[in-house]
Amino acid sequence: MEIVPVELIRPREPKPAWLKVRAPGSENYLRLKSVMKELKLHTVCEEARCPNIGECWHHGTATFMILGDVCTRACAYCAVAHGKPHELDLAEPARVADAIERMALRHAVITSVDRDDLPDGGAFIFAETIRRTRERVPGCRIEVLIPDFQGIESSLRTVLDAGPDVLNHNIETVPRLYRMARSGGKYPRSLELLDRSRQYRPSIATKTGIMVGLGEEFDEVVSVFGDLRRAGVSILTIGQYLRPSPAHAPMARYYHPDEFAELKRLALARGFVHVESGPLVRSSYHAHEQADAYEKSR
């Protein structure tokens, strides 16, 4: 008789009460969903199965995902589809700008899949989306959440020269777990990107995010804070990793809200201008408030 390992038959650990959210369905949520479908746009809110989609869309904010919906990397924590991307859509920047205008957004977040198949990693499309949005909605604050562009500095400069208000690149996890969690990513390269951004365009706020619950030690997370501050990062988000499916990296444990509060305290003590830390926090959660805090600090 085949012996089944105990870990395979152990009951699934229920989610703590603090991770339960209301199913989306408000009038504004449905309106935004209709706009996205009409303009054939993708959002990371949907593709990455963000738990805050109901709250954010209800309040009229969304994170647009450009460069298609297929990623060239297969990070162990990410729910976005990976494989061979579709052809580049040169009309996409104009459609994103159209959506931002129609939604009357005051703070728009633009991110993308990794496009390692493109010479510039998709930097031109990021820059064009920023420019088109500035033309259509001059008063809208623009935040970009960019990939690492494989360390190509000219790609980073292309995005920064287009003039976003916030440059975000997520560090995601601690150095020890990079090989397991981030396919194609390198911890030193991500730090270098954030440092280069701060040096090249010091007027543009730099921001990053980290997940906890992948198997890191508490002290390892705190050590990353020091690395980020030395790279000049001003805004930090800290959230709970939630396993998208059994095919993704296993979750080691749930952090308690008190632990998130302590991480926030330790991060602020190291000089971050603004820190969002909580079980349901994601990179774009309360993004407008994060940018407000940075502008007030200048």
pLDDT of amino acid 220: 98
pLDDT of amino acid 20: 63
Element (H, E) at 208: strand 205-212
Residue (of 145, 50, 70, 132) closest to 99 by Cα position: 132
CA distance 116 to 105: 30
Which residue bears the tokens 């198997």? 215
At what angle are helices 218-230 and 187-200 packed, to 10 degrees? 30
Please give the residue that has the higher pLDDT: either 162 or 23: 162
Q: 166-168 and 107-112: which strand pairing? A: unpaired
Count of beta carbons in the 10 Å neighbourhood of residue 266: 16
User: Average pLDDT, stretch 264-271?
Assistant: 98
- The band of 63, judged by pLDDT with boundaries at 50, 70 and 90, is confident
pLDDT of amino acid 222: 98
DSSP string, 131-176: HHHHHH-TT-EEEEE---GGG-HHHHHHHHHT--SEEE---BS-GG
Q: What is the pTM of this model?
A: 0.85
CA distance 44 to 63: 6
CA distance 173 to 177: 7
In the chain, where are the structural domains located? 24-297
Q: Which two tokens stand for residue 33?
A: 């969903």
Percent of the chain topping pLDDT 90: 62
Residue (of 232, 237, 250, 233) closest to 281 by Cα position: 237
DSSP string, 81-124: -BSS-----TTHHHHHHHHHHHHT-SEEEEEE---TTSTTTTHH
Please give the residue that has the higher pLDDT: either 293 or 183: 183
pLDDT of amino acid 233: 97
- The band of 285, judged by pLDDT with boundaries at 50, 70 and 90, is low
User: Average pLDDT, stretch 162-184?
Assistant: 95
Q: What's the CATH architecture for 24-297? A: Alpha-Beta Barrel (3.20)
Residue (of 190, 110, 203) closest to 156 by Cα position: 190
pLDDT in tens, 115-140: 999 999 999 999 999 999 999 999 99
Q: What is the dihedral of CA 48, 249, 170, 140, to 10 degrees?
A: 10
pLDDT of amino acid 32: 67
Residue 266: pLDDT over 90: yes
**Sequence-separated (6 or more) residues with CB below 8 Å from residue 97:** 129, 132, 133, 135, 136, 137
pLDDT of amino acid 24: 55
- The band of 9, judged by pLDDT with boundaries at 50, 70 and 90, is very low
- The band of 106, judged by pLDDT with boundaries at 50, 70 and 90, is confident
**Sequence-separated (6 or more) residues with CB below 8 Å from residue 160:** 167, 197, 200, 201, 204
